Every structure is written in structure tokens, then in C-alpha cells.
Amino acid sequence: MGRRILFIGPPGAGKGTQAALLSRTLGVPHISSGDMLREAVAEGTELGKQAGALMTTGDLVPDDLVVAMVAQRLAKDDAACGFLLDGFPRNLEQADALDRSVGGDAIGIVVLLTVDDDELVHRIMQRAVIAGRSDDSEETIVRRLEVFRSETEPLLRYYPEHGVPTVTVDGSGSVEDVFSRIVMALATER
């Protein structure tokens, strides 16, 4: 099974949920740029101060800040034998920066999670009630979906063009069913 896995999917697709499960199965760290940024906001660091407002409106945090943050995380020992990236790279500039920083072989396989828009909105509005994420509001969801389509979807051409396989997994249904589909898809691409 590929051990440098990138999860791509629209907001609410289940990237975080599935990456956390797979991280336990594979024994490689789950690295979520969104979680790291939320931590920085909560701690009130300089990065958090620069990121907070942009996250609330659903816009991307500047590439240089995010690239530096994730590069530092990837340099830790526990990422030496693989990692699950969730939410990064999120545009072509970040993908290029990552490839340049590790010599063009950063990602082994891309897992694209697909879920229809109605279900995405439903999941995010449910989470809004319990988790209180600053970007889980109806207005911001529309912006996050736009940003996904314009900034992140181009990666679905970038990686195949760079020889990195992509598996598309139906992200609807139960968490367990989606997880089984991912494990099966990765085993097939082995």
C-alpha cells in the first residue's frame, strides 16, 4: 500500500475522518494543514493571527505560510516512512513547492473522495451545531466549495501528469463503508 498518500476532496467529504482511521491502520502520521492552522489560531501564534480571518471566510491562507508549516512537520522523524496528507497541497503552487522541496517524489498516490454537494452541506451544518468551527456556516460553505473547484481541482490533472496515480472513492454512505472502499482501492493500486 502506498505510504505517501494525499487525500483530496471538497469540504466535508471526510478527508479528516478517513485519514485518521487509515493513519492507525498504516502506522503513519495524519498531517492535516487545516488542523495545524486551527491549532495556531487557538494558540494565538503569529501564524494563527495571519490565518484566522481567511479561514473564517473560507479563503486560502497564503502559500508561503502553509508550505513552511507543512514542510517543518514533514521533516519530523515520524514522517520518514510515510504520511497521510489531508488538505495540503491545496493548489498547484503548493504541489510544486512540495515536489521541489523533496525532489519531485513527494506523493505516491492520491485518494479523491467524492460526495454530492447536498450531502456536504448537510454534514457541515451538522458539525456546525456541535464543533463550532469558524468556517462552518452556510455562507462560508459556498465559498469553500468555490475555492475547492477553482484552486484544488486542478491538482487532479497535475498529479496524473506527474505520474502519480489517483484513485477515486465514493465518499457517501457510512464511515465504515467509505473506509473499506479506500482500503480496497489502495490495495488494487499497490
* CA 56/CA 156 separation, integer angstroms: 26
Q: Which is nearer to Mg ion, 13 or 67 (CB)?
A: 13
Classify strands 4-8 and 109-114 as parallel, antiparallel or unpaired.
parallel
Site of interaction with ligand AP5 (CB under 6 A): 9, 11-17, 33-34, 37, 54-55, 58-61, 66, 87-88, 90, 94, 123, 127, 135, 144, 174-175, 178
Packing angle of the helix pair 46-57, 138-147 (nearest 10 deg): 100
As given in the structure block, the three cell numbers for residue 47 are 501564524
Would you please indicate which residues are annotated as catalytic (active-site) residues? 15, 90, 127, 133, 144
Minimum CB separation of residue 29 from ligand AP5 in Å reads 16
Span of 16-24, 57-65, 90-98, 155-163 interacting with Mg ion by CB under 5 A: 16-24
Q: Which is nearer to ligand AP5, 97 or 190 (CB)?
A: 97
Burial class (CB in 10 A: 0-12, 13-18, 19+), 9: buried
